[in-house]
Structure 1
Amino acid sequence: MSYPILLVLHLLAAIAFVGTVFFEVLILERVRRHVPGDALRTVERALGQRLRRVMPWVILTLFGSGLGMLKLRYLPLLAHPLDSPFATLLSLKLLLAASVLCHFLCAMYLMHSGGMTGRRSRAIHYSVFAHVLGIVLLAKGMFYLSW
């Protein structure tokens, strides 16, 4: 697959993933205070079902296209990650992305094993939110920061 196609797939998947995390943390979390419990549980159940169907594909596209771009263009930079600002920021972005993937896998395990609690869910969401903010800033910084 060509680099431009991988880039578009990566950007679209990133928009979907970051948008979902943004919605869950900054919108849905605040709506909870204003919606009756029964209605909120119905909405959360429906959202959860939809997200469990869609997000694995979004994650697969996001990481698959990212790895494809890495292989086609950026892999040699990782041999010496401190040699350039771009390589350093890319390395940091990859570490955060790996952590997000671990969060996602942990959340999936907790959901399937019955160990997911409201507190754990919120902690995972806030952590992933902080990670994706860092990833977005690093992604932009890779092309504009130098030292």
Structure 2
Amino acid sequence: MTYLLLKFAHLSAAAFFVGGVFFEVMILSRAAQSLDDAPRQQLTTALGQRARQVMHWVVLVLYSAGLALAWRYRGVLADPLASHFATLLALKIAVAVIILLHFVGVVVLLRTGRMRPQISRRIHLSVLCHMLLLLFLAKAMVLL
């Protein structure tokens, strides 16, 4: 796969992922509070099922393309303190791993039945903050 297609897949999946989390944290969670308990539960269940179907694929494309792109810079990553670019790329990868660990944590909590609305909200807010940091680092890599 060419670099351009890898970059396009990575950026598209990142946009879908960030957009989905932003929508859930900033819009949906607040709007759902105005619903009665039964409709809110139905909405949460339906959206959760659909999000899990879609987001697994989005995360797979995002991280697969990210790994392929990072592989091209393995020489730069060998000494992450050698340049601003290498340092920012290493930090970006570290933040991406933290986000992936959040995603894995959600899967574990859901499968074990320990996911609660407050835990979900905190995880989503944390992921959103880490994504914003990741976007900043990605832009800084290009500009610095």
Q: What TM-score range do you get, normalising by the shorter chain?
A: over 0.9
Instruction: Give SS of 1:34's match.
Output: coil
Distance 2:63 2:140 in 1: 20
Instruction: Give SS of 1:80's match.
Output: coil
Residue deviations 1:1-53, cap 9 Å, x none? 21111100001100110001100111112113322222221111111010111
Distance 1:91 1:108 in 2: 26
Matched, 1:86 2:82: no
Residue deviations 1:35-82, cap 9 Å, x none? 2222221111111010111111100000000001111x2111111111
Distance 1:128 1:102 in 2: 10
Distance 2:51 2:58 in 1: 10
Q: What are the residue-to-residue correspondences of 1:16-31 with 2, within 5 Å?
A: 16-31=16-31
Unaligned runs of 5+ in 1: none
TM-score, length-scaled by structure 1: 0.94
Mapped contact 2:33–2:40 kept (Cα < 8 A)? no
2:63 corresponds to: 63
Matched, 1:39 2:45: no
1:5 corresponds to: 5
Residue identity over aligned pairs, in percent, reads 46
Distance 1:30 1:115 in 2: 22
Quote the RMSD (CA, aligned, Å).
1.0
1:96 corresponds to: 95
Instruction: Give SS of 2:73's match.
Output: helix
Query: How far is 1:104 from its partner?
Result: 0.4
2:118 corresponds to: 119
Q: Runs of 4+ in structure 1 displaced over 4 angstroms?
A: none
**Bigger shift: 116-125 or 16-25?**
116-125
1:138 corresponds to: 137
Aligned residues: 144
Distance 2:118 2:74 in 1: 38
